[in-house]
Amino acid sequence: MEKIWESKVLTNGGVFHQQLEQALCEYLDVPYISLFSNGTLGLITALQALRVTGEVITTPYSFVATAHALLWNGNAPVFVDISPDTLNLDPDKIEAAITPRTTAIMPVHCYGNPCNVDAIERIADKYNIKVIYDAAHAFGAKYQGGSLLNHGDLSVLSFHATKVFNTFEGGAIVCQDLKTKQRIDRLKNFGFVDEVTVMAPGINGKMSEINAAMGLVQLKHMPYVFQRRMEIDATYRKALAGISGIDCVQLPEQGGANYAYFPIRVSRDFPISRDALYEKLKSEGIYARRYFYPLISSFPMYRGLSSAQVSHLPVANRVADEIICLPIYPSLREDEQNRIIQMLDAASHLNHF
Ligand SMILES: Cc1ncc(COP(=O)(O)O)c(C=O)c1O
């Protein structure tokens, strides 16, 4: 705080902003990063940066900001169902949704688990359309040994307080060349090129110095953060394996997980419903989250779309009714985690009602 105050530069690409961009490029092993005040403005600007128009194929199984970014940009979202294994966009269903108006695909690496990036790239190349990954959950996730964030034309991160790495509020766009980085940097600063030149109707998406400084101090702790998350994940997996009706969502087969969330599916074999379990946990002070329920496609501004029909999205609708994300964060103590596990075990012995 003192350093920021002394420098008299509180925002607009100050020293901490530059340092964090540099540090993140190195840490994440990506060529260029542009910091944002949040992930949503990153998504909106990514669409602007690539001049995306018309229809954009996306997943209904995400946080609502994914589709909202399309509406803010005047794009028409086209929902495609998810695959039951990865809970990400099902590549086998994408081509059927492409029309002459399709200019981009916006998949989400849900829970930090990679989309089938190779299949999506093949489709994008075939139809000459862009790919913008909503990588809000994917900080530090790897794919085949490299950063997952280097796939697609752009990847957008969120550094919101609830994320693996946070700057309280914040986000970033990862891009692969300097020219695109410059365009993004201008678009997030009202479109200013220099003091007197404005190249586009840009927005104010700049990250302030205090948020950038928070990022720099937190970045040091990431090895510990990932280690603890991995341990908590392993403990849950082991303990829940024997509970009938609870299925842990699989980690990526090829490794590289970032353990951002711990999603479980509560199936019909479990004695009580997902919502009853959620309420039960809540009544015990355990704040699990129903990510992602309700589905984006069921919200009033989307449900009229033909691609939003329940019959078109059977997998997403089923998963949304079964999912609960259990608490996972570095300071979750062993005894606290055991209490959560015991609660789930006790619920599994309840009688059907
Ligand atoms: C998948 C997804 N996309 C976008 C966002 C929006 O990010 P932010 O809250 O930083 O605007 C979030 C989370 O908040 C998210 O989970």
* Contact by Cβ (8 Å): 117, 149: no
Pairing state between β 76-79 and 55-58: parallel
The verdict on the CB of residue 171 being under 6 Å from ligand 1 is yes
Q: Cβ-count burial of 223 within 10 angstroms (0-12 exposed, 13-18 middle, 19+ buried)? A: exposed
Residue of 45, 59, 63 to mutate, ligand 1, most atoms within 8 A of C-beta: 63
219-253: pLDDT as tens digits? 999 999 999 999 999 999 999 998 999 999 999 98
Closest ligand 1 atom to the C-alpha of 162? 14
147-173: pLDDT as tens digits? 999 999 999 999 999 999 999 999 999
Is 246 in a helix, a strand, or coil? strand
Q: Which two tokens stand for residue 58?
A: 């996306």
313-344: pLDDT as tens digits? 999 999 999 999 999 999 999 999 999 999 99
Q: What is the reported pLDDT for 352?
A: 58
Q: How far is the CA of 87 from the centre of ligand 1 (A)?
A: 17
- Phi, psi of 10, deg, nearest 5: -95, -20
Q: How far is the CA of 250 from the centre of ligand 1 (A)?
A: 22
11-46: pLDDT as tens digits? 999 999 999 999 999 999 999 999 999 999 999 999
Neighbours of 219 (CB within 10 A): 17
> Which letter does DSSP use for residue 289 in this model?
B
Mean pLDDT, residues 104-129: 98
